[in-house]
């Protein structure tokens, strides 16, 4: 199992959220990452997500993303669990993955809960009050299909992640501090199952205490090197 966070995409040029220069230093999370904030400031919130979509569209998967996709191709029992809402893992080739916090390209109706891909619509470069995304079915306001603070991760996604953490023999923790919900207890479940936990992160975090090995490097540097050694031993 691989468990990734915002740090996995930092090398692709996407800012993280909690670092000094991260998104939450520029945008108040209580406004831009809560339902209450969205309802009070829908135009501002949607325009921030439009900006984020443009950043993601311009970014490219880095060697860390590519290496994780190669691991999936080699191991028959593999699951990537990511907190990231970008699509860089998918563009690198990952297919067996769970996105805990939703997808930046998605939107969901506040009324009927219908979900859509924003790329299927001709939206303006910036939204105004009269051009906000609305549901094609019931014409009510749509929100970004992101799990915000105070909301629950979808049950199906969480159960798949918990099952993988509880049964894996190796867990890679990549680019996440584990500060969000304590990493959901994934590393503790892996440890309880006797798994080896390897953290790849330039800085220590909440999950480092559970790691058997901590590699203090960016994923784009460390993972290709490690995987190269695995492939050389495979012959």
Kindly list the structural domains of the chain, giving each domain's residue range(s) and its CATH number in brackets, ordered by start.
2-234 (3.40.50.1220)
pLDDT of residue 20: 44
| Per-residue pLDDT of the chain in tens (235 residues, 90 and over written 9) | 999 999 999 999 998 755 445 455 566 888 899 999 999 999 999 999 999 999 999 999 999 999 999 999 999 999 999 999 999 999 999 999 999 999 999 999 999 999 999 999 999 999 999 999 999 999 999 999 999 999 999 999 999 999 999 999 999 999 998 887 888 999 999 999 999 999 999 999 999 999 999 999 999 999 999 999 988 887 6
Strands 102-109 and 115-117: antiparallel
User: Do residues 44 and 215 touch, judged by C-beta distance below 8 A?
Assistant: no
Q: How high is the pLDDT of residue 235? A: 66
Close Cβ partners of 81 (under 8 Å, ≥ 6 residues apart):
1, 2, 3, 4, 97, 98, 100, 160, 161, 164, 165, 186
Q: Which residues are catalytic?
A: 101
The answer to whether the beta carbons of residues 201 and 16 sit under 8 Å apart is: no
Q: Which of 216, 195, 196 is nearest to 205 (CA)?
A: 216
The count of other CB atoms within 10 Å of the CB of residue 96 is 14
Q: How far is CA 144 from the centre of its chain?
A: 15
């Amino acid at each position: 199992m691989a468990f990734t966070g915002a740090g996995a995409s930092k090398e692709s040029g996407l800012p993280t959220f909690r670092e000094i220069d991260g998104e939450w230093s520029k945008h108040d999370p209580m406004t831009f990452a809560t339902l209450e904030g969205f309802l009070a400031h829908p135009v501002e919130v949607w325009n921030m997500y439009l900006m984020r979509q443009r950043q993601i569209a311009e970014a490219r998967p880095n060697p860390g993303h590519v290496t994780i996709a190669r691991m999936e191709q080699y191991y028959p029992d593999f699951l990537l669990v990511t907190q990231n809402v970008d699509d860089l893992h998918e563009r690198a080739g990952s297919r067996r993955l769970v996105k805990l916090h939703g997808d930046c390209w998605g939107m969901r109706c506040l009324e009927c809960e219908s979900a859509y891909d924003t790329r299927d619509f001709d939206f303006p470069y910036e939204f105004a009050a009269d051009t906000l995304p609305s549901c094609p079915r019931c014409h009510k306001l749509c929100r970004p299909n992101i799990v915000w603070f105070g909301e629950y991760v979808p049950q199906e996604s969480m159960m798949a992640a918990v099952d993988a953490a509880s049964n894996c023999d190796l867990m890679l923790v990549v680019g996440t501090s584990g500060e969000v919900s304590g990493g959901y207890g994934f590393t503790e479940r892996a440890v309880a199952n006797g798994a080896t936990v390897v953290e790849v992160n330039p800085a220590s975090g909440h999950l480092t205490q559970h790691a058997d090995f901590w590699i203090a490097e960016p994923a784009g540097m460390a993972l290709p090197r490690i995987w190269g050694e695995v492939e050389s031993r495979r012959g």
